[in-house]
Structure 1
Amino acid sequence: MRTCDQLKESRDTCEQAVDDVLKGEKNETNLRSLSPWEYCIDRDVGRFPTDISIARCLCQGCVTDQSNNMDYNSVPVCGQMMVLWRKKCPQNPDKYVVRKYFISVPVGCTCVRPGYTSSHK
């Protein structure tokens, strides 16, 4: 699995995901979804766990009729995860302070109708 920085440099696209599924080359659930996604590793050496798998949606729209249908939106589905971060202690650089945080982590993608806002006067 690539790191998220490597993924930014990749050229994986919605069209490639659709083509791979149509050719039968990929059978992973995340690529057969109406909102296909891929995973990357978010790495932070000051955090525990150091590596977290992050989902990135491949399409802006949703895959219908074997193409990217922009009448819908692909959006990340997030879950909460507890992580620990360490920082050097300001009074003693040989020691660390550890803090617990809950972060939102994209775990997959789903297809939704676009949200509309209406302006009422």
Structure 2
Amino acid sequence: MPVATVGDDAEASIDVTTESIDAYAELTGDRNPIHLDDDYAAETMFGGRIAHGMLGAGVVSAALARLPGDIIYLSQESSFEAPVRPGDTVVAEATVLEALEGDRIRVGTVATVDGEVVIDGEATVLSVPHETE
């Protein structure tokens, strides 16, 4: 399989549900009531439950994994621009912006809900040929 090159892009999406938020909290141990308690969350600036920011960022990882080659995360900068709520579909896109030294590439990453940016960022990853057996 070839490696990712400038201009390559990939996409992934997830439907966020209260069950997926609850499962993420159980998996990670992040039990912040803004994610889990309807009554508490209703009194916050968000007016209701929101998903963990890293749940949305996980969809960015899934988009990166769909680029050509084997993709290995080295770093990610993310700006969380808007909340993700139960019932939202998060669509993440990864676009290769620049070839760096060696097998490293710089990738633009963005996650949206209904066209609104919820996470904006940039990743540095390794893109190496997929080893066949």
TM norm structure 2: 0.28
Greater helix percent: which structure? 2
Higher Rg: 1
Larger RCO, structures 1/2 (Cα 8 Å, 6+ apart)? 2
Greater strand percent: which structure? 1
